[in-house]
Amino acid sequence: MICEGTPTRRHYEQARNVGDSQWILTEPVRKDLYFHLFIPTMQSNTLVFQDIIRGKIALIRGLQRFMLHVVDIDKNVLPNFRFLVDDAVTLIKILKHPLLSDTLQTVEEYNPLYHFRLHRRENWNRYFSDAETNKFWDSYETDLCDALFGLWNLPDQESFLHDRNERNFVRTILGCFDLNPRESKNVPELDSKVFDASFIVSNGPFRFTRTNFLHQHLSVEGNDILVFTDWQRLAGLRHHAVLRNLSDICMFDVLTSESRYNPPHTINIRSFISRLHYSILASLFLLFFQKPIHHSGLTGLSGKSHRIAKDLGIQLESHDIKNLADEILEHSTWESFLECTTEARLQDPYMVPLDRLYKTLKSWRPSNFWEMRYPGYGSVDVVQLYGFRFGLMVGIIAIIALALTAAQTYTGFKALENN
């Protein structure tokens, strides 16, 4: 009834009580959405393939959840899911529509939401008056756009985006990282060994903490290095049809350029967004899985990075770690991965946070007496470090000697008293 028939408010209320694990969208409708939302997934790595397929399914489940709640309007007869899917498919086609110029940011006729209103707004008059539609239309069209990319949440649900007051989450996700490509001559050199988690925690005061917010990934707060570990949540974006659109400029780019790039410029940053799943996974492997290890080695010093990852909730089998590392590195090395001319350093959403983390580590110096025990990451004075350790050793010996002297004195007095 709710998918193809004439549902009432009661039908929607009953459907909201159905868990997310159950489909309300019929199989033909799901196939229609799948066809328009995604490009075919050609992926040789089984783990990555499974991630992407699950991500696609999760995105369509999110759309179903959006459709169940978006029509929470005080009317008896409401649009069915087929009607709402037609809205979704129409907006997808509009977002993919190519543009012939990159100077159309401020031209209303090229704004995708303007075209969506032209194509679909009048159809809603079958259910509501203009006055009724006006109450929800602006939020509906932006929320639908967010839902198409898996970024819509109920107001009382936790989001991985930091600003829930932002009107459009597609724009919010853009504020999570630097999306400006750079030239190799402006890229600092990085040493992969400095990023190894066991090296970081053994040579300084920094510790790893999981964050639920995308924009905090690889940032440092005090002595906490924040990492976003839910990379699977972004897998559906990797083969999203809008983001993998081959057009140099399309209507989606107008939407993401508004209030970000100086008018009238329209900038294509789709590749940055579709790369998020890979980027977060690669950065986590750089931190915790530079050295694949067998289960038997997890108790040794070389398994310390793996144990840190496990404490953060990153659960991977040893053979999966090796397979994913080969996929990320393309059977190369971490040194090659971090070269200044690679895509990871020139066109990656987390290239700048990675540089900042490296700079923070390399420039760290002890700020108090107790921190002087750490050898640091390259900026600690070696003479000062060994001087501290020598002084600490002398101090410990002196305390032990003082304790022994006190014990001997006490023993001596006790002996005199007994005599």
Interval 94-103 mean pLDDT: 92
pLDDT band at 416 (very low <50, low <70, confident <90, very high): low
Return d(Cα 339, Cα 189) in angstroms, integer: 7
Name the least confident of 181-190, 254-263, 304-313, 409-418: 409-418
The domain segmentation of the chain, as residue ranges, is 9-174, 184-233+275-362, 381-419
Interval 210-214 mean pLDDT: 93
Q: Which residues of 126-144 are buried (b: 16+ CB within 10 A; e: fewer)?
A: eebeeeebeebbeebbbbb
pLDDT band at 299 (very low <50, low <70, confident <90, very high): very low
Return d(Cα 342, Cα 336) in angstroms, integer: 8
Question: For 336-392, what is each residue's pLDDT tens digit?
Answer: 999 999 999 998 999 999 999 999 999 999 888 788 888 889 865 554 555 555 455
Residue 189 in this model has a pLDDT that exceeds 90: yes
Q: What is the maximum span of the chain, computed from C-alpha positions, in angstroms?
A: 111
Q: What's the pLDDT score for residue 263? A: 80
